[in-house]
């Protein structure tokens, strides 16, 4: 009973405050202005902070090389491997399956450049700042940022969409995924900003979390004496100058401390790992974000599970997202409704769409439900095909989505599924712990790995 009370407490409080108290800070991240090519602009996004976009406002992406099990995929700096060619077979880069297997739905498959239109440069374009120009195999010019060839995504429809990819950390087995690019956050060189499910989190440059304290005043620290046993003020060097929303103040003669939005910044000495958030369990201490992630849909909850805080639906059932990247050389994603559903059916129903819907049911949304943001939303799905449908499609379901991908619960099969609010038994269900072709719980705070915002390098096994 106490667990339930606590979970309810978490969900209600989280919803109340995450759900609207900081609307002004949702897209408020400051960034460093730097020269850009003609037509390129910076657009605020709800999940990834400021990103570069083309003249139409479409987010720009890079496709950095990743080491897969049997070789590399993705671009190398200064050279594009995204071709105007429709891949017919898989590459065999993902162990244990061999290459040369015909890919699903070839009749509708697009080429890499059709899915990821290159950001072409005019023939007379000149490099500017970090932006350079590379030659494509067809003789055309393409913009590169920090030497990475740059593309847009046909999944993005409007300014602020980041449906083509995310900068949230992932293991290499996910595949060679595309990442949105943006300007550097306007933070002092001691800090960085990374994306996670909670928002755009400010960290020290080496990844340690930073905190603010409710007991402080604006540009004044009240943490002294015993308080300093647990909290290290993040000191500013002599040469530090105010920068955007960052200021310094003298906490004792000759000793200056950083403040963000006027709140003094600290490290927690008992954080045990890079990215750890243990200090936020101490009353009145908080992690620091330049902008919070968008609100959860109304009725969604935050609940305690074996790994930490996980997003749940209105009935406290764990919410799962589906991950999928195919194994062709162009590494196209297959996690959205227009992509081939055969991958998902294999791991959610043994190839049977009907069983799939029973094992990993869609999360049904009320008709007309709105979220007030573009990250969470609804769409109609034809459960027989898994494809996007309309309200008029017979049997269509109106389902909740995250980044325009349906989300799921795990009812399970043969008695194995989620039965309690703490269950996350579908977490890691599918190929490579659910990261390559499968399901993972939507973890809001990972207590044990602290891997949010930390690039994982755990593929050595």
Partner 1 sequence: MKKAQVMSRRSLTVSHIVKAGVALAMWSGSAAYADDTAPAGRAIGYAFSYIQLSVNESEGAKAECPEGLVELGPREQFKAAFPEGGAKRTVIDTQLRQEADIWFPKTEPDQFPYRFAGGKTSRGLDLDGKVKPTDFTSPEGKPGIDNQLFRVIGCYNGFREAGSVRNFYKLNLIKANINRAMIELTDVDSLVNDDDVTITSYRGREYLVADATGNEFLPGGTQRVDMEWGKQYIHSAKGKIVNGVLMTQPMDFLSPHETAYQTAPYDLMRDARFELKLTPEGAQGLIGGYVDIETLHASRNRTSSTHHLSYGQEAWGSIYRALIKLADGFPDPKTGKNTAISGSYDVKMVQVRVVHPDKEVAEVDAPVAKQFADTSAAK
Chain positions 96 to 115 lying near partner 1, rule: CB under 8 A, are: 96-98, 100-104
- 179-208 residues near partner 1, rule: CB under 8 A: 198-199, 202
- We find the least distance from the C-beta atom of residue 272 to partner 1, in angstroms, to be 8
Contact at 8 Å (CB) between 180 and 193?
Answer: no
- CA-to-CA distance for 432 and 425, rounded, in angstroms? 15
Which lies closer to partner 1 via its Cβ, residue 346 or residue 364?
Answer: 346
Q: Considering only residues 214, 250, 354, 455, which one is a binding residue for partner 1 as defined by CB under 8 A?
A: 214
Q: How many CB atoms lie within 10 A of CB 354?
A: 11
Contact at 8 Å (CB) between 198 and 292?
Answer: yes
If phi over 0 gives left and psi between -120 and 50 gives alpha, with beta otherwise, what is residue 136?
Answer: beta
- 275-334 residues near partner 1, rule: CB under 8 A: 277, 280-292, 302, 304-309, 326-327
- 2-21 residues near partner 1, rule: CB under 8 A: 3, 6, 9-10, 13-14, 16-18, 21
- We find the least distance from the C-beta atom of residue 368 to partner 1, in angstroms, to be 27
Per-residue string for binding with partner 1, 365-404, x by CB under 8 A? ----------------------------------------
- CA-to-CA distance for 379 and 284, rounded, in angstroms? 39
Q: Considering only residues 185, 430, 453, 454, which one is a binding residue for partner 1 as defined by CB under 8 A?
A: 430
- CA-to-CA distance for 394 and 171, rounded, in angstroms? 39
Per-residue string for binding with partner 1, 248-267, x by CB under 8 A? ------------xx-x-x--
Contact at 8 Å (CB) between 277 and 450?
Answer: yes
- We find the least distance from the C-beta atom of residue 143 to partner 1, in angstroms, to be 33
- We find the least distance from the C-beta atom of residue 222 to partner 1, in angstroms, to be 13
Q: What single-letter DSSP state applies at residue 183?
A: P
Instruction: Order the strands of the 437-441 sheet from edge to edge.
Output: 320-324, 437-441, 429-431
Question: Total residues contacting partner 1 (rule CB under 8 A)?
Answer: 102
Closest CA to 170 of 178, 158, 162: 178
Contact at 8 Å (CB) between 439 and 322?
Answer: yes
- We find the least distance from the C-beta atom of residue 59 to partner 1, in angstroms, to be 23
Which lies closer to partner 1 via its Cβ, residue 47 or residue 202?
Answer: 202
Can you spell out the DSSP letters for 269-283? TT--STT--GGGGST
Q: Does 444 bind partner 1 (CB under 8 A)?
A: yes
**Quick check: helix, strand or coil at residue 113?**
helix
Which lies closer to partner 1 via its Cβ, residue 155 or residue 265?
Answer: 265
């Amino acid at each position: 009973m106490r667990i339930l009370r606590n979970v309810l407490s978490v969900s209600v409080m989280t919803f109340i405050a995450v759900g609207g108290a900081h609307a002004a800070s949702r897209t408020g991240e400051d960034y460093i202005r730097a020269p850009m090519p003609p037509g390129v602009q910076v657009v605020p996004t709800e999940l990834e902070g400021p990103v570069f976009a083309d003249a139409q406002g479409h987010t720009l992406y890079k496709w950095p090389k990743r080491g897969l099990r049997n070789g590399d995929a993705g671009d190398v700096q200064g050279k594009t491997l995204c071709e105007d060619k429709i891949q017919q077979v898989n590459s065999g880069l993902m162990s244990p399956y061999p290459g040369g297997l015909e890919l699903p739905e070839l009749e509708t498959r697009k080429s890499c450049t059709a899915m990821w239109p290159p950001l072409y440069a005019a023939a007379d374009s000149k490099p500017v700042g970090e932006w350079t120009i590379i030659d494509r195999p067809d003789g055309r010019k393409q913009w590169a940022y920090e030497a990475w060839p740059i593309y847009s995504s046909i999944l993005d429809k409007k300014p602020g969409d980041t449906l083509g990819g995310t900068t949230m950390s992932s293991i290499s087995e996910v595949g060679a995924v595309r990442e949105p690019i943006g300007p550097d956050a306007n933070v002092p060189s001691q800090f960085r900003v990374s994306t996670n499910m909670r928002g755009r989190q400010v960290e020290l440059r080496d990844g340690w979390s930073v905190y603010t304290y409710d007991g402080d005043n604006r540009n004044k620290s009240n943490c002294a004496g015993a308080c300093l046993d647990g909290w290290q003020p993040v000191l500013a060097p002599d040469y530090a100058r105010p920068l955007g929303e960052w200021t310094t103040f003298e906490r004792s003669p000759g000793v200056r401390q950083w403040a963000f939005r006027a709140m003094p910044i600290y490290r927690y000495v008992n954080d045990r790992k890079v990215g750890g958030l243990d200090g936020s369990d101490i009353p009145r201490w908080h992690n620091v974000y330049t902008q919070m992630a968008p609100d959860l849909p109304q009725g969604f909850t935050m609940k305690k599970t074996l790994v930490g805080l996980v997003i749940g639906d209105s009935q406290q059932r764990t919410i799962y997202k589906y991950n999928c990247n195919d194994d062709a050389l162009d590494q196209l994603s297959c996690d959205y409704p227009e992509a081939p559903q055969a991958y998902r059916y294999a791991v959610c129903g043994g190839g049977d769409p009907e069983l799939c819907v029973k094992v990993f049911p869609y999360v049904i949304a009320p008709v007309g439900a709105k979220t007030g943001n573009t990250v969470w939303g609804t769409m109609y799905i034809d459960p027989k095909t898994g494809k996007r449908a309309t309200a008029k499609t017979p049997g269509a379901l109106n389902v909740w989505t995250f980044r325009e991908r349906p989300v799921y619960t795990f009812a399970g099969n043969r008695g194995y599924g989620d039965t309690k609010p703490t269950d996350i038994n579908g977490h890691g269900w599918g190929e490579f712990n659910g990261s390559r072709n499968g399901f993972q719980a939507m973890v809001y705070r990972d207590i044990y790995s602290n891997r949010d915002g930390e690039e994982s390098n755990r593929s050595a096994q």
